[in-house]
Amino acid sequence: MIRLQKKLFYNGNIYTMSAEQPIANNVLIEANKIIALNVESAPEAELINLAGKTMLPGFNDSHLHVLNFGMNLNIIDLNGVSSIAELIELTKNYLAKNDVKAEQWVFGWGWNQELFKEKRMPNRFDLDQASKQIPIVLTRTCGHLAVVNSKALNLLDISAKTEVTGGKIGKDESGSLTGIFAENALELVYKWRDNLDVSGIKSHILKAAKKLRKMGLTHVQTDDLASTNAGYQKVMQAYYELADENNLPIKFNLQLRLKTPAEIREFLSKNSLSKYSDYLTLGPLKILADGSLGAGTAALRKNYHDQPNNKGKLAYSYQEMYNLIETAFKNNLQVACHAIGDRTLEVYLAILGQLQPKFNQQLRNRIVHCQISDYKLLNKMAELNISADIQPAFTATDWQIVAKRVGKEREILSYAWKTMFDLGINAAGGSDCPIETPAPLWGISCAVNRQDKNNKPEGGWLPWQKLTLTDALKLYTKNAAYNCFKENEIGQIKEDYLADFTILAGNPYKISETKIKDIEVAGTVVNGNLVWN
């Protein structure tokens, strides 16, 4: 049945994201490829009547954690919790409902003390109210900090004297443990997380990927290697098997969290950077260079506004980061560096300024998050051709805390998405899921409105940094494709491009901008395969 290989999408609002031809009347695909736009007729094609729906290039999340997302589908969801009392209640309910046994570890994710009416972090004694028999670990929304109960502390065998390089174990004024663990110290508590086998990892990835596709994503760039203590080899094996079995519902780029030059070399001796299939590509190297703003662990050039003796902390010394990046460059591996604080940005840019010319390369090295910035740093980024991977949803989550953390003067130059566009920095959009919901339409809404779900603040936060809808759509299509070297195959609806589309029930151009987030995803096309939601 060769004729069924062709499909004609017509009778919709088709926005291509291509400057040469911004809209199309219809799109003809054959197997996994777009073969023509605006055809007069297509006698051999299956006709797909879009019936007034909106079709866009498939959405692509430039930075998230698919495996974590899958694992989190099985843990306590603490997003949006508004008090410590509610946190305790939710945890108690989860234990009862899931019939959790004593000494079986339980994990939760998503709390944010800024949303608590108590305006403080929870501690071990709060969590003891949920259980004194079951060890509990509740991670803050940022992923850089967690609180555990007393049972967990006992099982972890941690004393007030335990120290972890690059990490923090919370103590109160009297020196007693508070139950708080931050940064590298988290490894102590996460080692108890399910020690997954390959089939378990595959099941989490699949479950997550199906959910992501429903939300309109056809491609993700995921940072999963360090998400379990199973070791990255098992994660890689899981992805290879899923690809070999043609079982991946969407396309993946793996962001490689490798922590030392030796680890990079070892990884590359066993894995090839060339494209594995349309569905699986490896790279870039992911470097986690600082913490988060909420936890006060992002590295700043000057002290936190509300913490006079704290500048945060770099996860690597200058030389360590230099060595990591040099190793990547020697192996022709692109680098994506998590940088939330301006100090991290400064150090990373300085190293790239040294190393890029030396290797005479243009690997589209990337900055993930890029939150606290100023015009000079952004200019330097543009000069060095560094791309950004931004999380528009952070504007909704963070708008009330940024001035508190860094003061007004640094606030007004931060989360500067529009300035990036103005300077010609290629900015791609992502969710950092499970930090934020992976729904691209929420990210797009945030980029356009810079408001939270209650449409606050009025007029949007730092409103001169709002993006147009088209630029916001580009974040998740054309620009996300560029950052992973796929701008000639996905991200636009164009002849010879792969047939990856997201189909929306409503037209975001025709409604009020605050309604964009409510548009339903009607379906997706991945490599020519159409699935209606």
Interface with a second copy by CB under 8 A: which residues? 15, 19-23, 375, 412-413, 418-419, 422, 424, 458-460, 462-464, 466-470, 507, 509-511
Place of tokens 């990046």: 325
Name the minimum Å distance from CB 465 to a second copy.
Answer: 8
CB count within 10 Å of CB 172 equals 11
Q: Which two tokens stand for residue 517?
A: 């987030």
Tell me whether residue 308 or residue 424 sits nearer to a second copy (CB atom).
424
Separation CA 209–CA 203 (nearest Å): 10
Tell me whether residue 180 or residue 378 sits nearer to a second copy (CB atom).
378
Tell me whether residue 337 or residue 473 sits nearer to a second copy (CB atom).
473
For residue 112, the number of C-alpha atoms closer than 13 Å in the C-beta half-sphere is 18
Tell me whether residue 22 or residue 52 sits nearer to a second copy (CB atom).
22
Separation CA 397–CA 168 (nearest Å): 24
Name the minimum Å distance from CB 523 to a second copy.
Answer: 22
Name the minimum Å distance from CB 483 to a second copy.
Answer: 17
Name the minimum Å distance from CB 405 to a second copy.
Answer: 19
230-267 residues labelled b (16+ CB within 10 A) or e (exposed): bebebbbbbbeebbeeeebbbbbbbbbbbbebebbeeb
Instruction: Give the torsion through C-alpha atoms of 32, 38, 44, 46, to 10 deg.
Output: 60
DSSP state of 75: S
Name the minimum Å distance from CB 9 to a second copy.
Answer: 18
Tell me whether residue 75 or residue 413 sits nearer to a second copy (CB atom).
413
DSSP H helices in 370-416: 375-383, 393-398, 402-411
Tell me whether residue 413 or residue 435 sits nearer to a second copy (CB atom).
413
Query: CA 88 → CA 102, 129, 177, 475, distances in Å?
Result: 17, 7, 19, 38
Name the minimum Å distance from CB 503 to a second copy.
Answer: 18
CB count within 10 Å of CB 401 equals 16
Q: Which two tokens stand for residue 467?
A: 């993006």
Tell me whether residue 144 or residue 450 sits nearer to a second copy (CB atom).
450
What single letter denotes the amino acid at residue 133?
Answer: Q
Tell me whether residue 139 or residue 479 sits nearer to a second copy (CB atom).
479
Tell me whether residue 97 or residue 510 sits nearer to a second copy (CB atom).
510
Separation CA 149–CA 456 (nearest Å): 35
Name the minimum Å distance from CB 462 to a second copy.
Answer: 8
3-state secondary structure of 106: strand
DSSP state of 149: -
**Non-local CB neighbours of 59 within 8 Å, separated by 6+ positions:** 216, 217, 218, 219, 440, 476, 477, 502
Tell me whether residue 206 or residue 505 sits nearer to a second copy (CB atom).
505
Tell me whether residue 80 or residue 463 sits nearer to a second copy (CB atom).
463
DSSP H helices in 111-231: 124-128, 150-156, 186-190, 198-214
Nearest alpha carbon to residue 220 among 229, 209, 230? 209
Name the minimum Å distance from CB 395 to a second copy.
Answer: 15
Name the minimum Å distance from CB 470 to a second copy.
Answer: 4
Name the minimum Å distance from CB 291 to a second copy.
Answer: 27
Name the minimum Å distance from CB 373 to a second copy.
Answer: 11
